[in-house]
Every structure is written in C-alpha cells, then in structure tokens.
Structure 1
Amino acid sequence: MEATLAPSKLTYVTECSKEKPTSHSLKVIAVPVGERFQILVPLDQKADDYTIRVALNVLPQYMSGYAVLSYKTGIRHFSSPPPQNKAFIDYGGNSLPGAVLLDPTTLRPFPAVAPPSGPADVTIRISIERTEARAWTLNGIPLPTLPNDFTPLLLDPSGVSQLDPALHTSFRNGSIVDIILEAGPIARWTLPPLTLHNVKAFFLGTGTGPFPAATVWEAFQNNATGLNLINPPLRDGFNTAATAEGSSWAAIRFLSTNPSVTFIHCHLDPHLAGGMSYILMEGLEALPEIPAEYKDFC
C-alpha cells in the first residue's frame, strides 16, 4: 500500500515497535503487508485542506481512495470534494515527479541500540518456496494442522518430535540467533511478508541471488553487499528483496532472552493457513514452572 499527503510533507517516526524515532521528511510511504508505521504531520504550512491518497498497488486488485486533512480556525462543512492539489502518487500507487519515498533501511531505533556482535550461536536457514500454485511453504514442507488433542508444545516440548525436523529449531536462552531467509525464483514474485513473534529482530539487510556465505558473520567479514550489523532497523516484519529474476535473501538477528515456544510465519492468511510457518523453541531450559491451573486448562 502507498500513502501520501499532498501537498504537505510527512515526518516518519518509526515502525510501530515501541522504539522512539529519528525523523526524516518524505512525501510517500510504502506499507508492506503486516507492517505498521507512525507518521507525524508538521503543521508548518498554511492552514488549508490537504488530500490524503492511499493506493493498493499489488494483485489481485488495484484500489485507491482519498480523504481530506483540514486544519484551520473554526469548522468547515463540505458539500463537494475540495479543489485538486499536487499529487505524489497516481491511482495505481506509482510515484509521480517530486515524490520522496521512505527508505525503510534508514529506520533507526532511538535511543540507539546495536545488534549483538560476533558470530551467531545459532544460524537458521529458511527457504521460502511455492511448491504448487496455491501452496506456499517454509523449507518446502507445510506445517500440518495439529489435532485438537495435541498438547501445546509449551507444556510438552517433546511433542515437537512429531513434526518434520525442517520445521523447527531449539536453542538455549541467551543465544545470538541469525535467520537467513531465501526466496527461490518462483517464490520471490510475491515476496511473502514474514512475521516474527515474541521478540523484535534486527533487520540486517536484503540482497539478490543466493545468500553469499554459510553464516551472516562470515558474509559480514567478507564485506557482503546489503548487510548492516552496525545500526540496522529493529522490526518484527521482513521481506526478501524484490528482483526481476533469480533468487533473493534477507537476514535478521536477535538475542533470545524470553523463553517460549513461538514461530515465524507468513502474514498472509491463506499462506499461514496452508502451513507457511516455522517453530522456534526458545530457551526452554530457563522457562519458569507453569502454574497448574494453566496446565489443567489445556
């Protein structure tokens, strides 16, 4: 989705992640599926009517609409749309001359916080695949629908042995975890948006082609293009890079400090319902004793 406020300017704050911002001026913001942004509008221009334009620019249907932001003394009533003013996107969401777009790679947490440095304790490689026309998976295998009597993994972690090993990973509390997402030639056309639960991760970067090394740290040491381990965005939604051909990748890093059973999955409901998920067994050795009333409830 593309959004703009014309002819005024926007000051983006940050993705809605409870992190305070550094501000930048822009004209157009692209909002991928599953992501949230906070936007400020400085009222430093003349009191007037400003058109808010929003356009969906992805299949299966292109749609657009508008609203009016009006600030001035008193109350005004409209019986017809206000006069046309300068637009920065068209009805298809395409940028027009003079548009200044948000570059999401410039998002910075404030106060500044850097990702953990050094080699990761755990590297998880996940392939994004489209195995059939309507089948989207992680690592080529859909997470099956579990029976109603399946004991939640939080209460019985041993139950994970019933799942394909390609669909889950366990690691200790305090681990530095890297996840490398790789989309093949078919999957990258739609760029499934992935969501990570339980913790926000540093979005280290994206690139085209296969990931250039066995690990993130090795790629960083080799000065791989597209990686930022100094001041990357801190997010919970991720896309691989858009590319006209071939494959693409994205890399994220986080410090596991909240013991739980959680997962990373596609934010698109049909893909999630089809099993496009991967389970993370995080630091269960440090998990507090679960109260009996919760165990009995489940």
Structure 2
Amino acid sequence: MSLLEEDTGRKQIAQRRRIDFILHILFVVSTAIGVVALMALIIDIVLDGFMRFAPDLFTNYPSRRASQAGMKSAIVGSLYMLLIMAPLSFILGVGAAIFLEEYAKKNRLTRLIQLNISTLAGVPSIVYGILGLTLFVRGLALERSLLSGALTMTLLVLPIIIVAAQEAIRAVPKARRDASFALGATKWQTVSRSVMPSALPGVMTGVILALSRAIGETAPLVMIGGLTYVAFLPESIMDSFTVMPIQIYNWISRPNEAFHELAAAGIIVLLIMLLLMNFAAILLRNKYQKNV
C-alpha cells in the first residue's frame, strides 16, 4: 500500500469519527431536550397539586366547591372500566394474533387484514369515539353507559395489542415449533405449550402498555357521553360514569385557581397509576423471561 493510500485511509477514518461524534452529540442533545421538558412539566404539576394531594381527593365526590371536591367517582370509574376492558382486550387481541400468525394462510386476504390492523393502530382516538357512539350507544342501544365506554376503549387498544402480540409470537424461534412437532404434538399443543410461554413476556408487556394508553384517553369517552360531573358510584355496567381524564379536564377548564390545583393533584394520581402499570409490565416481562 502506498503512502498516498494510507493517508487517504487515515483521513476517511478521521472523517467517520467526526461524523460519529457529531451524531452522538446531536442524539444526546435531542434526548436531553425531551427529558428536561418532561421533568419541567412534572415538577410544575407536583408543585401545583402537592397541597391538594390528600385523603379527601380519594374519598370525596366532585363538588362545585373546590374545598370539598374529590375524584372518588372518577377513580372508581377508571378502575371499573379497566376491569371490563382488560379481559376483553386480552382474549380478542391475543386470539387474533395467534390466528393470524399460526393458523391463517399467508395470502392476499391476510396481508390486507394485517395492513388494516397496522393502520388502525395509528388512527386518532376520536375516530374510535365516533365508532363507539354509532355502534354501541346507538346501534346496540347500550346508551351512554360504562359498558359502552369499556367496549369503545377495547376497540381503541385492540390493534395495538394484536400488533404487539404478533411481534412477540414471531420472535419465537422456528426450531421450538419444529421440536414440538417432532415429538408428536398437535398444532394447538405446540402453540399453547411451546410458542405462547415463550411469547408471553412480550404479549403481556404490549397488553399492559396498551391499557395504560387507554386509561389516559379522553376524546373517545367524551364522544360517547362520559359525564364531567358524577356524584355517585356506578352500581352496574349500564350506569353513567366518569373517568379521571374527564374529571381533570373539567377542573382545568374552570377559571377558579383552586380547581386548577385539584386538576394538578388528579394528574399526579393518574401519573402514579400509569407508572404502576408500566412497572407491572416490567416485572411480568422479567418474571416470565426467567421461566422461559
């Protein structure tokens, strides 16, 4: 190799290192901007709502007087909706993913279905509110009830769960399936006893993260008639309801500064719930990964 070629090689290496350093700094700065902005918002919310973060917030119903207002009905409504939505979303979403990945033939129809599912995962949530209003509230005459809200939110998270479950199932090595078939297992035995235990960490993570998104959504529930003032607890799935995001929106839209502090306290409660759900997703993933 000539001296000219060696010099050219050194220059190219030096240029690559400069580009790598510049990109590294760019990525660090971009990440820092997002983290700093998020921390500033969280600190501002905590400072505004910390004084109102008291037992009365959890035990009192909404009131027109800020000093007596709480979000008991909104917290219970969110939990009830989660209890209805979680099993429906898991069964339908994971079942659809298993069918598409393990049983459905790979043809034009399945590719079209897959394309539609991926597209629906990115549709704005307000569209699901319109669909829920048309299908459940008016079409099935479920009225503006807790059941209508839970079914609408199930439609919202289904595409996300299906896509996440499919990715988890695809990640299972083909050798695991072949080994199961070689031992004489049937298709369902292979799926239920070999594929799904390996895919379960990814499936559970996707389900919990999708439910976390649903807990923080407001637009679909506003469309189907989620109330902004509920001074009672739902006694059945056909009763009227409210949820935490709607209650927070109601408080923040009022001119009284005391209600803004209540809204900040409600945001803290919602953030804690979302963090707990994400923490649960991490624990489940780590637990099942150790057992695989």
- The TM-score with structure 2 as length reference comes to 0.22
Kindly name which structure, 1 or 2, has the bigger radius of gyration based on alpha carbons: 2
Higher relative contact order (Cα pairs below 8 Å, separated by 6+ residues):
2
- The TM-score with structure 1 as length reference comes to 0.22
- The answer to which structure has the higher helix fraction is 2
